[in-house]
Amino acid sequence: MKHTTPLDIENNLPTDAAKEILDLITSSREETESARKLAPAIVEQLSSLKLFRMGLPKSLGGWEDNPVETLKVYELLASAEASVAWIVWNNHLACTFGRYLDNTSMQEVYNDPSHVYANSARPEGIAETVPGGYMVSGKWTLVSGCELADWFVLRCLVTSENSPKTLGPGANLKLFFIPKKAVEVVDTWNVGGLNGTGSHDIVIKDTFVKEQYAVDFGSPVALDNAYSRLPIGCINSAGCAAMALGVLKAATDDLIKMCLDRVTPGKSPDLRDRDTVQAAIAKSRTLLASKRSQLHSSIATLWQEAQNENTFTDEQLADVWAASCEAAREARAMVSEIYAVAGTVSLYKKYKIERAHRDVHAILQHGIIQPHWMNQAGMAYVGLTPNGAMFRI
């Protein structure tokens, strides 16, 4: 195994760390797939290289710089194994939620550099208000990386005498930071795509959470830096799109490799001689370059505005939502086209195309990349006010 050293945030880029671990990720693909969670050696290296902590401030080992760099990391990792990218991306979100904690609570939750995080923004739990905090119970579905996590950030409906007891208008929703010891994992993750993410269900029963560990999207942000000013929703959507592009790159590279490896003498045309294969490769390379450029450009604009402490316009946010949704959608369509033109070899698990086809469809099931965000973006472009709950958050 290639030796890795902890990422020096001051002098290196997270992409340097991602490149360093690609060989290990590739060689561990079958272990990750069969175990339905990341191979332990990968988790150890990701932790050592601080790739789980990119969403944190520098003082806690985070990146705190141009978020385009995180998109490059997700794409790189997904080109080797989508499940690895997914867990890194998921940790970024869990760490980003930490911006709403006070300084003391943030230190308590994120002080251990070896820790891994998981989250669920689905309000599938109930938090009863009690003296000093809340009593939390619930069952959350699709909690990626739950078997690896040391801390969970979980959304609940808060109930009290004066608040609604069901979801709907006026519901009081909060995010709760809960340690691993309170969480029971329920083995439910038997799937095809993103099999290595270990996205099982979890259960929590009557667990006390102190008031300081409960936040919402309107809570004050203790951090004063450009990264903490970035919107969570569309940045998360862009990360999802970057993973889809990484999966497309894996499928494209695999098809090119097949063409070069499967050259045979004789009169029968080889794979590389097929018009459909040639066209698909050219189309895919162009799509990758164009969608990547648009995605990065829209995020770079937000980064510039965040550095200048400006308020994002709805059109600037719409540019990210639209670029993300279209990049992901076209990546899925292109992977499916590659799967088709490659012929019967696409059926074999020894080729990346087979898993790429499963993974890219799984990636696009996430709510943050669904078509309705295109409607929200379109509203901004025609002078209407987007009303999606996460459009500006």
For 87-127, the pLDDT digits (tens) are: 999 999 999 999 999 999 999 999 999 999 999 999 999 99
User: Interior CA angle at 208 toward 204 and 211, to 5°?
Assistant: 125
For residue 221, being part of any structural domain is answered with no
Same domain, 89 and 209: no
Task: Retrieve residue 56's tokens.
Answer: 């944190």
Are 252 and 369 part of one and the same domain? yes
pLDDT, average across residues 24-46: 97
User: Which contacts (CB < 8 Å, 24+ apart) does range 305-308 have?
Assistant: 306/226, 306/227, 306/229, 306/230, 307/226
Query: Residue 5 pLDDT more than 50?
Result: no
Structure tokens at 362: 């799984």
- The residue range of the domain holding 319 is 230-381
Output the pLDDT for position 11.
67
CATH of the domain at 303: 1.20.140.10
pLDDT for 164 equals 77
One DSSP character per residue, 157-196 reads: EEE-TTS-SSSSTT-EEEEEEEEGGG-EEE-----STTGG
Q: Are residues 99 and 138 in the same domain?
A: no
Residue 15 near residue 69, CB atoms below 8 Å: yes
Q: For residue range 274-323, list pLDDT tens digits in order.
A: 999 999 999 999 999 999 999 999 999 999 999 999 999 999 999 999 99
Tens digit of each residue's pLDDT (9 = 90 or more) over 135-174: 999 999 999 999 999 999 999 999 987 777 788 888 899 9
Q: CA triplet 353, 340, 294: central angle to 5 degrees?
A: 70
In a domain, 106, yes or no: yes
Instruction: Kindly state whether residue 387 falls inside one of the protein's structural domains.
Output: no
d(CA 309, CA 203): 40
Query: Which one of 52, 83, 110 terminates a domain?
Result: 110
Query: Does 235 share its domain with 372?
Result: yes
Percent of the chain at pLDDT exceeding 90: 91
* Residue 235 sits in the same domain as residue 375: yes
> According to the model, what pLDDT value does residue 258 have?
93
DSSP code, position 131 = T
User: Which residue type does 99 have?
Assistant: R
Last residue of a domain, one of 83, 110, 137: 110
| Any domain includes 393 | no
102 and 128 together in one domain: no
Task: Please check whether residue 389 lies inside any domain of the structure.
Answer: no
Q: Alpha-carbon Rg of the chain, whole angstroms? A: 21
Please tell me whether residues 42 and 184 are part of one structural domain.
Answer: no
**Residue where the block lists tokens 């998360």:** 236
Which of 189-198, 242-251, 268-277 is predicted least confidently? 268-277
pLDDT one-digit tens code per residue, 322-342:
999 999 999 999 999 999 999
Q: Is residue 74, in this structure, part of any structural domain at all?
A: yes
pLDDT score recorded for residue 325: 98
Quick one: 100 and 121 in the same domain?
no
Please indicate, yes or no, if residue 246 is contained in any of the structural domains.
Answer: yes
pLDDT at 264: 84
CB 172 within 8 A of CB 157: yes
Whether 65 has a pLDDT exceeding 60, the answer reads yes
- The domain that contains 70 carries what CATH number? 1.10.540.10
Model pTM score: 0.95
User: Chain centroid to CA 326: how far?
Assistant: 17
Same domain? 98 vs 122: no
Residue 116: the pLDDT is 98
Whether 8 has a pLDDT exceeding 90, the answer reads: no
Looking at the structure of the chain, the number of domains it has is 3
Quick one: tokens of 89? 């991306």
Asked if 274 and 369 sit in the same domain, the reply is yes
pLDDT for 269: 86
Residue 382 has pLDDT above 70, yes or no: yes
Residues 335, 258 within the same domain: yes
Whether 9 has a pLDDT exceeding 70, the answer reads no
Looking at the chain, which runs of residues are DSSP E strands?
A: 117-130, 133-143, 151-159, 172-179, 184-186, 200-210, 214-215
Please say if the pLDDT value at position 209 is more than 70: yes
pLDDT of residue 7: 46
Per the domain annotation, does 391 fall within a domain?
A: no
Domain match, 184 and 258 both: no
CATH number of residue 138's parent domain: 2.40.110.10
Single out the residue in 110, 134, 164 at which a domain terminates.
110
